[in-house]
Amino acid sequence: MAAQADHTATPAALITVDPLVCGRPVTSSDRSRLADVRGGDLADVGAAPRLMALAALRELREHADGVPQGQDLFDRAATLFEEATLAGESPEEYADRVSYATGLTAAAVAQSVRDLVDELRELSEATAAELPPTGFGGGFATRWVPRGRVFAAVMASNHPTPNVTWAQALFHGYSVAVKPGSRDPFTALRLTRALLEAGLPPHKLAFLPASHQTGEFLLKEADRGIVYGGDSAVRRWQGDETVAVRGPGRTKALLDADPDEPTVAHLATAASFDGGTRCTNLSAVLTTRPPAEVAEALARRLAALPSVPVTTAGATLLVADRERAERIRRQVDELRATPGVTDHSAAHDPAGSETVVELADGSQLLRPLVLSVDRVDHPAVGTELPFPFVVVAPWAPADGVAPLRESLALNLFTQDEELVDAAVREPSVRKVTRGPVLPWTAVPGIPHDDNYTQFLLEPKGVVAVA
């Protein structure tokens, strides 16, 4: 049942966002409105047309020198990003803007700020962990240098933390053009301002809100780049050695054990943390136990998550503006109607079969959904949706590693060491965790999706034998 709507909530005053090229604000006449999840508009965004993007790239390249920036600069930027008022924006105003633009909860935004700040402060440590030793004695050494001069980043809006990837390119000496996510220009803009305030040479960086087509142009023209997106982005750029592709995670768990309470709690957290928006959130459970039994336990657990506005203490679930929520509702209805699919959430969730609940502030909250399917190769397995959504499917040892493929993270609950070894050796599985370890658990040097430092840098021999 939908919560009673109260449209008396007053969205914040309209914010203006424009490109920032080499430290200079540039007003664009190509403008669009960014929706507020509570209704109305949150920001007036000026997009960089292709000619502006081309001019920015030329300016970046003209001054690009490949000289790395020191860790001290990124330490200062991390502190400024977390604590300072930048261009009149306080940390609290930034967090609210991200929540009202993306639907991420206040807790998720706060966690993302902590994660981003930690990763900025660990850039030197991560680099050392991802590169082999460089000194061989006797005048023989390896020098790791940028593979180019200009880097382009085409970001998504599901989570702020991945913006550290383009900061890492700056750290290693690239000049960077960043196209922010369409729903979250605020994180990239705030990080740009923090870096400039910390002492980054202005000619090193351009912030370019832009269309999808202009984003593709940036990737084509840069020496190296990274793109975040869906399956279409993966198909477009996979195989291009100059572009790192970050697509759907399709994180899975293999449950070859009884679904006891601690295990179910772990799986529920893996699915729902940060509102289910991370690429490493769990979206499929393959199990040797009855799928309906596992799905029922998981649905009961997730049904307890509250339906409250994103800035409320204790909020967990994502909200969306009405248009986006309706698109997701249609996707869910199609999945429910697919042969071989059983919905286990409707019987346990306070909203029943309503995936979208309208809250009092006008935002549309997305309730968790757990489905089971009748076979491991069902097309619903591998479906990704931007909220806590899990498909439970049957798996048997005879199925082997094949159904576990295409997983950014794979969480194994099994004592079958041969299967564990096969999963680690499977090229399309990028990370393996065992037991109650959350999929995103890592320390510097543990790759998220391949060795990103070695994507940015190449080794060159330096020999000075007397």
DSSP state of 107: H
**Residues counted in the chain:** 466
77-95 pLDDT, tens digit per residue, is 999 999 999 999 999 999 9
Q: Which residue has the tokens 């286990």?
A: 344
As given in the structure block, the two tokens for residue 108 are 């998720």
Res 5: pLDDT: 40
Neighbouring residues of 314: CB distance < 8 A, sequence distance ≥ 6: 107, 306, 308
Nearest to 143 by CA among 464, 457, 466, 465: 457
Return d(Cα 433, Cα 442) in angstroms, integer.
Answer: 10
Q: What are phi and psi of 190, to 5 degrees?
A: -65, -40
Return d(Cα 168, Cα 123) in angstroms, integer.
Answer: 7
C-alpha distances out from residue 449 to 138, 172, 322, 407, 453, Å: 35, 19, 33, 10, 11
- Cβ atoms of 361 and 9 within 8 Å: the answer is yes
Res 466: pLDDT: 61
- pTM, two decimals, is 0.93
- Cβ atoms of 207 and 180 within 8 Å: the answer is yes
Could you list the beta-strand ranges (E) of 222-361: 224-228, 243-246, 251-255, 282-287, 319-320, 341-343, 356-358
Q: How many CA within 13 A on the CB side of residue 307? A: 26
Res 446: pLDDT: 87
- Cβ atoms of 188 and 45 within 8 Å: the answer is no
Neighbouring residues of 421: CB distance < 8 A, sequence distance ≥ 6: none
As given in the structure block, the two tokens for residue 151 are 């880097």
Return d(Cα 286, Cα 403) in angstroms, integer.
Answer: 8
List per-residue pLDDT tens for the chain, 466 residues long: 344 344 334 455 799 999 999 999 999 999 999 999 999 999 999 999 999 999 999 999 999 999 999 999 999 999 999 999 999 999 999 999 999 999 999 999 999 999 999 999 999 999 999 998 888 888 899 999 999 999 999 999 999 999 999 999 999 999 999 999 999 999 999 999 999 999 999 999 999 999 999 999 999 999 999 999 888 888 889 889 999 999 888 999 999 999 999 999 999 999 999 999 999 999 999 999 999 999 999 999 999 999 999 999 889 999 999 999 999 999 999 999 999 999 999 999 998 989 999 999 999 999 999 999 999 999 999 999 999 999 999 999 999 999 999 999 999 999 999 999 999 999 999 999 999 999 999 888 888 888 999 999 999 999 987 6
Q: Which residue has the tokens 């204790």?
A: 314
The CATH code of the domain at 15-247 is 3.40.605.10
DSSP 225-247: EEEE-SHHHHHHHTT-TTEEEE-
Query: What dihedral angle (degrees, nearest 10) is formed by the CA atoms of 153, 154, 160, 161?
Result: -40
- The domain limits of the chain are 15-247, 251-434
- Cross-strand partners of 371: 343, 391
Nearest to 311 by CA among 103, 24, 36, 119: 103
Res 448: pLDDT: 85
Res 458: pLDDT: 96
- Residues 95-134 as b or e (16 or more Cβ within 10 Å = b): bbbbbbbbbbbbbbbebbbebbbebbebbeebbeebbeee
Q: How many CA within 13 A on the CB side of residue 141? A: 8
Res 2: pLDDT: 41
As given in the structure block, the two tokens for residue 457 are 């840098």
Q: What are phi and psi of 5, to 5 degrees?
A: -80, 140
The crossing angle, in degrees rounded to 10, of helices 91-102 and 106-121 is 120
Nearest to 13 by CA among 34, 32, 41: 41
Q: How many CA within 13 A on the CB side of residue 271? A: 31
For the chain, helix, strand, coil in percent to 5 are: 35, 20, 40
- For 91-95, the CB contacts below 8 A with 24+ separation are 94/186, 94/187, 94/190
Return d(Cα 171, Cα 280) in angstroms, integer.
Answer: 25
As given in the structure block, the two tokens for residue 209 are 């809100």
The CATH code of the domain at 251-434 is 3.40.309.10
